[in-house]
Structure 1
Amino acid sequence: MVITRRRIMEYKIKPGDTLTSIAIKFFHDPKKSNLIAEENGIIDPNKINIDQVITIPNEDDKAQITSEPKAAVKLTKSQLKRFLTHASEDTVNRFCEPLNDMMERFGITTKLRVAHFLAQVAHESAEFSAVSENLNYSANALRTVFGNYFLTEQQAQDCARKPEVIANIVYSNRMGNGDQESGDGWRYRGRGLIQLTGNNNYQSFKKCVDVDVVTDPDLVAKDPSLAVASACWFWQTNNINRYADRDDLNKVTRLINGGTNGLHQRGVLLERAKAILD
């Protein structure tokens, strides 16, 4: 079914929530779970995540539901090659099928959603070439990017060009990671097309895909399906489709990046994706 309605409320999923319990909470009717699933592009009702933000549809607009489902947009290898202008043939071949599979699974199914998703992941991963975080910073870069952690020039000099040391400093005691000595900062550094980072996120993603990426986090970088799925999981968890549907590049970028870094280039990639999909 396809639903077009005014969106009136957002809800963050809590431990123990199911789509049925959420439907009962808002509509007093468990059957309305299908409306919530369709509104948020949830293909598998059993695959919702704690802290995922969903939109609660307006019950009064249910007459706008149509009975015919709309097929998910599928990328061809030719289209992906035209979009990834700097990617190798091998990269295109490895990522095309996982993109189609995972975008459909996570509800990124319209041309506008696919275009925004491709623009963001291409920018974040340097056209799918950087699927593991590069922490090989110079002393200068450490003071610029991580100035809160490297307060003196000597601290920065001591840690420069030591990626594992840097990760364990800047990612310690947050995002579910232990202290510097635990090694969690390096273990759960950014991987995938949108840089899945931190123990908490790896734990949540593990539950979603039923693959033990906590014990072996490198799988997120090595397996194209998991590299794509981690980005789709982040996209769905933060309900970014709602801003892609509005063609709001600025808001989509803020949700991905935390700011507007690279906004112009993301816009160039978005227009390229739109042209190719159209």
Structure 2
Amino acid sequence: MIGHLGLYQDCDADQPEQKLHLETFSGDDVEAFIEASRAWAQHLPEKDRTWLKLAKGTPVVAPEGHTAAQMQMASDSSPRSAADLLIPKKLLDDLPADRKIQVPANPTRKARTWYHLENLLHDADNNLLDGWVCEEIGVTPWVSPWAWEGYDVIIDYSRPKHLMASFLSAIDSFSDAHRERYRPFAEKDDKGPMKNRLYEIIDRNRDGKMTATELQAALELPAHAQSISQMILYKESEWFQQPKIWDALDELLGHSGSTPHLNWLAGKQRIAELGWWRDVAEKVGLPSWGSAYHFHPVGLMGSFSGDRFKFSLETMKSIYPKLGEDRNGDLQKIADELNANLDFFKLNTPLRRAHFFAKIKQETGEALSIDESFAYKSSTLIDLFSYFRNNPEEARRYGYKIKTGKIKENGVSMGRADYEAIANGAYGGRTELGNRGISSGDGWRYRGRGLKQLTGLHNYTLFQRWHTKHSAQWPNDYADFVVNPDLLLEVKYAVRSAASFWLNNELYKIADKGSALEVVDSITTVVNKHTASHPDRRGHFVDLLKKGNLN
């Protein structure tokens, strides 16, 4: 997807306006991709089929005074839709209760549901219809967006010369002599595959012309607008600068050496300056010959975003049910960061999300702590860390003896200095973490932070490099986590640090192996090889799957 943002002045405007020129295209073999995608879609589960197809000829029963049985009888004489229309499941689910009638199955009929739809379908005279339509198993199919239902690839080899000749002819700017002279050029465009497809949809009176009125009327009919958005046009990009194709317009526009058309000369200069294709094609994998498959940006987005999973506050509260309402803000920030990067973080399947949060919940605890606590009992320090086994007097000096109030052996509550001393003893000098000696303070400075409890100078450095490498994902958000490790206490960075570990270690590939507990253990081994928390992490995973809030 590429966008050009800036000032643009229409020919009849008094002054320029800020506008966005947006294109979505691919240089890959889209036809082969769609063919493979359609084959793959046949094996997707029912829940992934999120668009209801109401085929041309669907009866639309008048809205008033009918029971389901009466509507079934009335359907034979009711108006029928004049074009296919795909309707997203979310639209149907969100209809009010009085606009849905569910009919259970019986020995002679399958279950069906009636929906009251207003101004979505249209009849043969292009009149929008208001009434009830029936969804029935085996009759009205549900399709996946990956089936690319209704999409067609149209190969168009016409050039600007053909398009301009067609345009000037349509607006009667030609004299009879010029019309005859340029008819072959105009017809190449008018009779080309792109125009033929549009004529089928738009040209109501079949006079071989498309007027602005006809185009506007077509776009006001959802089925026609959807059909137009499903055209994939294979055509040479206008950003592939070839002076000869623009010079070919000179005669049409009345430009010659003796009678220069100054505006057209300026226009060609502007076009030349915008011809970036050759400069970047090899670097970004675009075809060197300049042709690509062009998609309707809004239509494409609409096809794949209708029923997309999003983390909500309720989803996050189901993961951390013991958190008080005062932490709702943090939960919402986590949801926002995840939603903004769902595909990039490779958390775009329920299984991946469940495996991810099974680990995160173990790392952060029920209290969602993103700053490692060093409130340890003296005896626990000796059990856990070799430094304190070798220096038990320091364990007794810094750790607590009585849990309530964290009271130390000397009768004083633990404080910041104790926590720092414990962190430096536990993590200082740990070469596998990249930490320097105990006196360096690295143990405390690079203590566990973030959703994954990122620990050690080495891991902070890796995260720093990863964050910088992917800066395009969060433009104008430079951060140095080695110099400012406390940045990981900000929710967005806490989330990203966990995602970086998930991605760098390709844990999503392990997650894709399934929901067996052995898979959970495989991920745990990567996260913390020597942990004794395998049972707890399995429990988190099973609980998340059972709740189903990550589906």
Asked if TM exceeds 0.5, the reply is yes
Q: How many residues align?
A: 217
Q: Give the CA deviation at 1:239.
A: 1.2
5+ residue gaps in structure 1? 5-29, 33-67
Please say if 1:216 is aligned against 2:472.
no
Q: Give the CA deviation at 1:260.
A: 5.2
Other-structure match for 2:382 = 143
Other-structure match for 2:544 = 273
Q: What is the distance in 2 between the residues matched to 1:95 and 1:151?
A: 41
Other-structure match for 2:424 = 168
| Contact persistence 1:113–1:241 (CA under 8 A) | yes
Match among 74, 79, 86 for residue 315 of structure 2: 79
For residues 34-67 of structure 1, give each alpha carbon's deviation from its aligned partner in whole angstroms, at most 9, with x where no partner exists: xxxxxxxxxxxxxxxxxxxxxxxxxxxxxxxxxx
Q: Give the CA deviation at 1:241.
A: 1.0
Structure with a larger share of its residues in strand: 2
Q: Give the CA deviation at 1:102.
A: 4.1
Aligned pairs for 1:1-278 within 5 A: 73-89=309-325, 90=328, 91-127=330-366, 129-160=368-399, 161=414, 162-173=418-429, 174=431, 175-210=433-468, 211-221=479-489, 223-247=490-514, 248-259=519-530, 261-274=532-545, 275-278=548-551
Structure with a larger share of its residues in helix: 1
Secondary structure in structure 2 of the residue aligned to 1:108: coil
| Contact persistence 1:121–1:128 (CA under 8 A) | no
| Contact persistence 1:83–1:273 (CA under 8 A) | yes
| Contact persistence 1:122–1:128 (CA under 8 A) | no
Q: For 2:453, give the aligned amino acid.
A: Q
Q: For 1:240, give the aligned amino acid.
A: L
Q: What is the distance in 1 between the residues matched to 2:541 and 2:422?
A: 33
The 3 A distance-change label for structure 1 pair 228 and 102 is farther
Q: Compare 151-160 and 199-208 and name the one that shifted more.
A: 151-160
For residues 63-86 of structure 1, give each alpha carbon's deviation from its aligned partner in whole angstroms, at most 9, with x where no partner exists: xxxxx9899742222222222211
| Contact persistence 1:102–1:229 (CA under 8 A) | no
5+ residue gaps in structure 2? 1-32, 41-282, 286-302, 400-413, 469-478
TM-score w.r.t. the length of structure 1 is 0.69
Secondary structure in structure 2 of the residue aligned to 1:113: helix
The 3 A distance-change label for structure 1 pair 260 and 201 is closer
Provide the aligned C-alpha RMSD in A.
Answer: 2.8
Q: For 1:184, give the aligned amino acid.
A: D
| Contact persistence 1:190–1:198 (CA under 8 A) | yes
Q: For 2:550, give the aligned amino acid.
A: L
For residues 152-178 of structure 1, give each alpha carbon's deviation from its aligned partner in whole angstroms, at most 9, with x where no partner exists: 532321332522112112222222222
Other-structure match for 2:125 = none
The 3 A distance-change label for structure 1 pair 249 and 122 is same
Q: Give the CA deviation at 1:261.
A: 2.8
Q: For 1:203, give the aligned amino acid.
A: T
For residues 60-115 of structure 1, give each alpha carbon's deviation from its aligned partner in whole angstroms, at most 9, with x where no partner exists: xxxxxxxx989974222222222221123423223211122344322222111011
TM-score w.r.t. the length of structure 2 is 0.36
Higher relative contact order (CA 8 A, sep 6+): 1
Q: What is the distance in 1 between the residues matched to 2:308 and 2:502?
A: 17
Q: Give the CA deviation at 1:117.
A: 0.4
Q: Which has the larger radius of gyration?
A: 2
Other-structure match for 2:74 = none
Q: Give the CA deviation at 1:235.
A: 1.1
Q: For 1:261, give the aligned amino acid.
A: A
Other-structure match for 2:270 = none
Q: What is the distance in 2 between the residues matched to 1:157 and 1:145?
A: 14
Q: For 1:163, give the aligned amino acid.
A: Y
The 3 A distance-change label for structure 1 pair 148 and 215 is closer
Q: For 1:204, give the aligned amino acid.
A: L
Other-structure match for 2:21 = none
For residues 233-266 of structure 1, give each alpha carbon's deviation from its aligned partner in whole angstroms, at most 9, with x where no partner exists: 1111111112111131111122122245333332
Q: Give the CA deviation at 1:273.
A: 2.4
Q: What is the distance in 2 between the residues matched to 1:205 and 1:273?
A: 27
